Each structure stands twice: as structure tokens, then as C-alpha cells.
Structure 1
Amino acid sequence: MDFVKTVLVTGGAGFIGSHFVCSLVNRHPTWRIINLDNLDYCSNLRSLEAVEDRGNYTFIRGDICNPRLVNHIFATENINIVFHFAAQTHVETSFIWPSRYHQTNVEGTQVLLKSAFEARVEKFIYVSTDEVYGESLDKEFDESSPRRPNNPYSVSKAAAECLVLSYWERHMFPVIITRSNNVYGPRQYLEKVIPKFLSLLQLNKKCTIQGTSPQSRHFLFVDDAVEAFHTILARGEVGEIYNIGTDFEISIVQLARQLIQMVRHIPHTELDDWLEFVPDRPMVDLRYPLNCQKLRRLGWKPAVSWKEGIRRTVKWYQANPDFWPNPDTKDQ
């Protein structure tokens, strides 16, 4: 069949990307959805089983840092829209291999931008992170807040944002940037805090808490994140930045206690026996509060409560203990 549009999703075998790819394939049967992913350790094609045989879905294994491959895709596939999810994202690892993060997150984004610009795509949506703002103990970040990244991962994402915006400012190339809170849900790789804690508890091990500082995070269920991307695709204005977030906030210690109770079913008085405090990483942001009124004015708001989202998440990990191979679970 002749497809109305072709959408390229990079990193579509990763956690958020795979959820978005599946929703695109199902929601837009007259669109062709191309998933470009290099199948790094945190990607899994099992996440795409629901759509792998669909006629409007294509998977390409490859690296966004490979200009020859990327140029070939744009030259032959008539791409209309790009959703750029592909990235190195684990903060702890970024301190060990900062050059790897720069290569993927900055140089890879440059390769994509150049090819997409030359192909004259109609929209390029870059998926960034709330971590580019740095931390705030009181004031909410809106899209005009300055970028003050504090770790190699967030530095690389902020640098990539500068590249994306430069194409808008120099060429009026139609870009949009999103910055989201922590996204959680089924199929997330075990290095992130919620699946990490669940993995440890399933192995009858304690939840490891980094340092003693009062860290807290805003958690957004993956279905709500996916709906935000659909809203931005349909109604977002080019040249703009959109925060994607939730008012729900929980401390990492309280998160661990809640998961311990949900998985181990032990009395409140014994919850802290399942906590183990380990050395902190070099730099820790305590919290990232986002003002999301700009996106809400487009008609989006979170629909899945924390109680429902975490129930569904725990249930999925309990039902799928072998979806991911267990990494070393010593560090958070």
C-alpha cells in the first residue's frame, strides 16, 4: 500500500521508544513506522513483538553515529517525521565513559540532524530530559529556565539540544524538543531505579540507596509519556520546547519502602531492614520539578495515577522475571 507518512523512530527498541513505536503502528495504520536501533544492552526486540509482523512496521538495526547508514535511510525511505529517542542514558555509567555519551548523544544527533535537514523532513522531535536543568529545591523549571546540567549524561543531552536549536535558528528547520520527568513502567531495563529495586527484591536482596542526601523524583507512567508525544506530534509548534511531567513526587527512600511492602509483604516496622545505603555517585541532583502548563494548554495531562501505574508495573515485573538478564545488582 501507499503510506500517507513515514516516521523514523530512533531507539525504538528501548523502553520509551518501544512503547511509542507500538502506539504509532496501532494508531496510524496508514503511516509507515521505521524503527532504527542498534540493539544495545538496554534494548530488546521482545518489546516489539506485538507489531513485528504488521505491514506498516519496519525494523532496521543500525547506529545513529553511522553517517553512511543514516544518509542511506533518508535518501531511500522518504522520511516525513523523526522522533529521536536513541541515547546513552544511565547517569552512573556516564561518569565512567563520558566520551561514549558524547559520541552517541551529541555526534549521533548531529548525524541525524544533517541527514534530516538535507532530506527536508517536515518535523524533527528531539527527546531530551529534565536533567538538563540541574536541580531545584523549590522553584519549578519552565521551558525558559537556563540549562545547568551536572553530570556527563545531562551535559551531553544539553549539548545535543543546542545542536537541534541551532538548526531552527539558522535554517528554520522544524524542530521540537521535549524534556520529561522520570518515566517508568513495564519493560524498562533493570539499571533504572524502579526495575532495579524490583529486581533486587525478587532476588531476595535489599534495595540499595545511594548516599544519604534526600533525593526525590517525579515519576510519569510510560502510557502518559506516550500520549504526550502524540499530543506534541499533532499540536506542538515547531521551534518550541515542551516539558512533560507530573505533580507526583516521592523520595527514593520512600519509593524503596513502598516497593518492599508491595513485593515482600512485610510489616512497616521491618521495612528499613531491607534498605542498604551505598556510596553516592560524584554528583547528585536532589529533585527536578517541572512546570508543564505549556503542554497542558495543548490538551495533555497525566491520566494514570501513581497507585495504578506502580501496581501495573510491579505486576508486569513479577509476571516477566526473565524478560531481562539480571545485571550485577550491587549498585543502584
Structure 2
Amino acid sequence: MTTDRCKVLVTGAGGFVGSHLVRDRLARGNAVIATDVDLQRLEALNLEGDLSRERLDILDSERLSQLLNGVDTVFHLAAAHLDVLKGEDYFHEVNVDATRMLARRSAQAGVRRFVHCSTVGVYGPLENLPADETTLPKPDIAYERSKLEGEAAIRSVIEETGLEAVILRPAWVYGPLCPRTQKLIRTVARKRFFFVGDGSNRRHPIYITDMLEAFQLAAVQPAPSGEIVIIAGPDTVSVKELIRLIIDELGMGYAPPRLPTWFMGAACLAVEKGAGLVGREPPFSRRSLKFFSESSAFNIAKAEQLLGFRPKVNTREGLRLTIREYSAQGIL
């Protein structure tokens, strides 16, 4: 494993990908400053190494500026994304304004490389597969629009300051510690899963260890500042194939029922409205329905050529590793 004794700052360190990234950077010999509004996941990992935990909001630009002193690399993962009931202004404040300010402060602090974690969600519903970096983004929800604007904000800072930055657009990242993955597998294990539609739409997953390698390459490989790079795994699967793989790895017999997409669309809308009346986030939404109603597949040739990225874990192996970990923890 590569040892790189430098100081890095990770925003969004309390999330699924962020917590894995903190552990990975410590294993690589980094001094890590981990920031988030909630760092409970890090505390549960019993991490060892030169780790500083800083509970703060990404909007606290003054405190972040203080933490940037002596930092070599910033990994910016913090984002507003789960708040279905929030409006455009909220997503813009966090994903655009706060991102711009962090990039600007990073440049002022002399940060060597700024690695920004965006999302393939900026493309919106894809009409032609596979998509690549030349595909025109057409985001159709507030989160996706704000992430695209956040990319533009970073590129404007690059023009203003000369900041060296790489923008990653990850596909669906999965693996241990991921609440979404855990919920999906547990629902199948308990025979509560149902298809929305016929399950023929395709997804493009990337296992967490491959994502961590992409972060490493983005941090150290020479690349023109402001480059946008899609990061995805070695294979795509239909939702039907994905569920079959989970069933096989669980060693169970199960034939999930199906519900029509139109019915779930109406149900999601009703649930969102009901949740809005009581001020609570809905248990499922039209955004989560995208997993079952839209297809995604991506060409990662640019990542291979520019960064030397080669994903190693296919979907079956990634699910096997994830289910093995959940079983060992007694989660299933």
C-alpha cells in the first residue's frame, strides 16, 4: 500500500463514502482532518492514526479556513442530497455557494490538489447509453442541478486563482457501511422487496474500494485543472440481474412481486406531500424511484486514460463482500 505522509482534509467524512475515505487515507499514512456535522460513523470504526475529528457545517467557512492551514489535498464530499423536502435555495447554498467558498479558501491556503466529488446524477435521465463526459447534462431535480452548478463554481475558482482541481462524477457507489445498500439487501433478505416495473433498466455500480482508488489517483496523477472524470465499475447490471445476484449470494429462494411504475410514481408523490405536511422526510420519494425507472451506464475511458483508473471488483464480487460483512455484523 502506498504511504503518503501529508495532511488531507475530508469534508462529508461522516457519510458512507467519506468514512471509508478517512480510513483509507489513514492507512496510506496521511494525517487526516475529518469534518462533518455528524461523525458518529467514524467513532464506531475505532480508527487509528493521525486523525482530527472536527464537527462543523460546510457553511462554516471561517472555521474551515483555519483547518486548511498546512493541508496538501482537500477531498470535498460534503453535500446536501437527502433532503427531499428542501427547496432550490437550500441545495444551492450548500452544493454551490459553500463549495465555491471552500475551493477559494483552499487556493488561498496553498492546497496542492482539490478533489471534488460530484455525481453522474448531473446528467439527469439518460437517453443514450453509455454516457461519457461529452454527454450533455440535463438534471431534472434540485440536487442534480445544484451539483452541476457546484462543478461550474469550482471551475470559476480555477480561472480566478489557478487552483489545481479534479472533478469526479461517481456512479452508484456501494459496499459495507452504505445505508442504501444495506436497506436493499435487508429488504430482499426479509422477502419484502418488490420490483417497480419489469426490472430491465440498467444500473452501473462501483464498489467502494474501487472508488477509493479513484480518489487516490485523482489526488496524485497529473491532470489539467478542472478536468471532469466519470468513475464507475467494470460492469453494468439490470435491476433484475442485481436482485438475482443478491438472492443467489444470500442462498435463498425468492421471486419478488412487481408493481407498475405509474402506481409507484403516484404513491411517491402522495407520500412526499403527506411528509411535507408534517415536516418529515418521506421514507421513499420520486427521487428514489429513479433507481427503478431510469437506466445508467457509463464509458470510463477518460478515467482510464487520464488517471490510470482500472476498476477491479465486479458486481457479483462486490455484493458477496458486502453481504459477507453484513452477515458477520449480524445485520442480516
What TM-score comes out, normalization by structure 1 length? Answer: 0.81
- What corresponds to 2:80 in structure 1? 88
CA separation of 1:148 and 1:321: change in aligned 2, threshold 3 A: farther
- What corresponds to 1:179 in structure 2? 169
The structural deviation recorded for 1:214 is: 4.4
Among candidates 229, 242, 250, match of residue 242 of structure 1: 229
- Please state whether the residue corresponding to 1:309 is helix, strand or coil: helix
Residues 249 and 319 in structure 2, CA contact (< 8 A), matched pair in contact too: no
Among candidates 142, 146, 152, match of residue 156 of structure 1: 146
Residues 37 and 86 in structure 1, CA contact (< 8 A), matched pair in contact too: yes
Q: Which moved more, 1:14-23 or 1:204-213?
A: 204-213
The structural deviation recorded for 1:123 is: 1.2
Residues 26 and 32 in structure 2, CA contact (< 8 A), matched pair in contact too: yes
- Please state whether the residue corresponding to 1:34 is helix, strand or coil: strand
- What corresponds to 2:256 in structure 1? 272
- What corresponds to 1:252 in structure 2? 239
The structural deviation recorded for 1:176 is: 1.0
Distance 1:196 1:95 in 2: 21
Distance 2:80 2:183 in 1: 17
Among candidates 219, 227, 251, match of residue 233 of structure 1: 219
CA separation of 1:126 and 1:313: change in aligned 2, threshold 3 A: same
- What corresponds to 2:281 in structure 1? none
- What corresponds to 1:169 in structure 2? 159
Any unmatched runs of 5+ in structure 2?
A: 266-284
Amino acid at match of 1:305: N
Write the mapping of 1:1-332 to structure 2, written as runs, cut at 5 A: 5-27=6-28, 29=29, 31-39=30-38, 44-46=41-43, 48-49=45-46, 51=47, 53-54=48-49, 56-74=50-68, 77-90=69-82, 93-94=83-84, 97-189=87-179, 192=180, 194-202=181-189, 204-210=190-196, 214-237=200-223, 238-263=225-250, 265-266=252-253, 270-273=254-257, 279-280=264-265, 281-282=285-286, 284=290, 286-297=294-305, 298-321=307-330
Distance 1:230 1:170 in 2: 26
Q: Deviations over 1:27-81 (max 9, x none)?
A: 1x2x3111111117xx6124542x2x42x2211111111123212223xx32221
Aligned-residue sequence identity (percent) comes to 27
**How much is the aligned-residue C-alpha RMSD, in angstroms?**
2.6
CA separation of 1:71 and 1:64: change in aligned 2, threshold 3 A: same
Any unmatched runs of 5+ in structure 1?
A: 324-332
Q: Deviations over 1:199-249 (max 9, x none)?
A: 3245x3511444568432101110011111111212141221111113412
Residues 80 and 121 in structure 1, CA contact (< 8 A), matched pair in contact too: yes
The structural deviation recorded for 1:321 is: 4.4
Q: Which moved more, 1:149-158 or 1:105-114?
A: 105-114
Task: Report the number of matched residues.
Answer: 302
